[in-house]
Amino acid sequence: MNGLREMMKDKKRIVIKIGSSSLQHKETGDLDYIKLEMLVRELCDIRNQGKDVVLVSSGAIAVGKKAIHLKNMDDIDNPIAVKQACAAIGQARLMMTYQKIFGEYNQTTAQILMTKNTIVDNLNRYNAHNTFSELLKFGVIPIVNENDTVATYEIVIGDNDTLSAIVAALVDADLLILLSDIDGLYTDDPRTNPDAKFIETVPVLTEELMHMGKESTGSSVGTGGMNTKLQAATIATKSDIDMVIANSEDVRVIHKILEGENIGTLFLKNPDEGFDLPGFVEELHK
């Protein structure tokens, strides 16, 4: 166990992001209740250690589509409106499921839905920060998602990798864990290039590393490829937050990471006092 990983034991406020594809059975698109239950147990145990934890969870649109038996959107006249309707259905179902499982561990949760305006507007950002702060003081685990029900291009954040880094910065977290369908950062996509090399630690995000982020994902369900994860790493590391990308195949990696095991790719914090989070979020859509 190296010294950098040993420091994971001291993290007190952790944001964890899990994607749509990690929460569902690939064959059917239905929720994977075993994985959900294991995820909730991990988060509750972190909370029982006296640490603060925030969950950024995808899945609302996918759950909504499944609820109304919508398989193909190619022939739909207004796909954005349909996605927003699916989000409205799915968000309620997803939170109901989370609350039921969290309730088995006597853990209180709260739902927070955000848009880009939550970040770029100073008052909205201040209010959101205060809400998170009070919830964490009460020992609540906030469950965060983008507000897909009302989001249009002008106010969309875009993906939950970026959203989770924004939330981590907003709540003054000291660790962000991105659970994905890949083990971490490679020199190329290991699914197509067998010679791709795994990168254990990233001390500084260089231009060369940023160019490794290709806008691709191994799933038709999720929206975030490695490019969005590197954008998240930029936000996190510049905001004085360490970040780890790890495989979500077994969500028990969460406690292993926090115990200092050498799992996933660790991006070391590299704080930039001049980093403009609202400006960075605005630039993502230009």
Q: What is the pLDDT confidence band of residue 286, given thresholds at 50, 70 and 90?
A: low
Give residue-wise pLDDT tens across range 4-60. 899 999 999 999 999 888 888 888 888 899 999 999 999 999 999 999 999 999 888
Q: What is the pLDDT confidence band of residue 73, given thresholds at 50, 70 and 90?
A: low
Arithmetic mean of pLDDT, 94-99: 94
Token pair for 99: 């609350």
pLDDT at 152: 61
pLDDT at 153: 54
Q: What is the pLDDT confidence band of residue 246, given thresholds at 50, 70 and 90?
A: very high
Model confidence at 215: pLDDT above 70: no
Q: What's phi and psi for 146, nearest 5 deg?
A: -70, 145
The type of residue at 15 is V
Contact yes or no for 218/232 (Cβ under 8 A): no
pLDDT at 158: 65
Give residue-wise pLDDT tens across range 138-179. 999 999 998 877 766 545 666 889 999 999 999 999 999 999
Give percent above pLDDT 70 in the chain: 90
Model confidence at 283: pLDDT above 50: yes
pTM > 0.75: yes or no: yes
Q: What's phi and psi for 271, nearest 5 deg?
A: -60, 140
Burial of 244 (0-12, 13-18, 19+ CB in 10 A): buried
Arithmetic mean of pLDDT, 189-207: 87
| Torsion angle of C-alpha atoms 87, 47, 179, 58, degrees rounded to 10 | 0
Q: Which is more confidently placed, 88 or 253?
A: 253
For residue 179, give Cα distances in angstroms to 50, 55, 231: 22, 11, 15
| CA–CA gap between residue 173 and residue 166 (Å, rounded) | 10
| Candidates 3.40.50.410, 3.40.1160.10, 3.30.1300.10, 3.40.718.10; CATH matching 3-283 | 3.40.1160.10
Q: What is the pLDDT confidence band of residue 269, given thresholds at 50, 70 and 90?
A: very high
What is residue 215's DSSP assignment? S
Arithmetic mean of pLDDT, 177-205: 88
Q: Name beta bridge partners: 53.
A: 14
User: Which segment, 17-21, 71-75, 145-149, 209-213, is predicted with the most confidence on average?
Assistant: 17-21
The chain-wide mean pLDDT, for the chain, equals 87
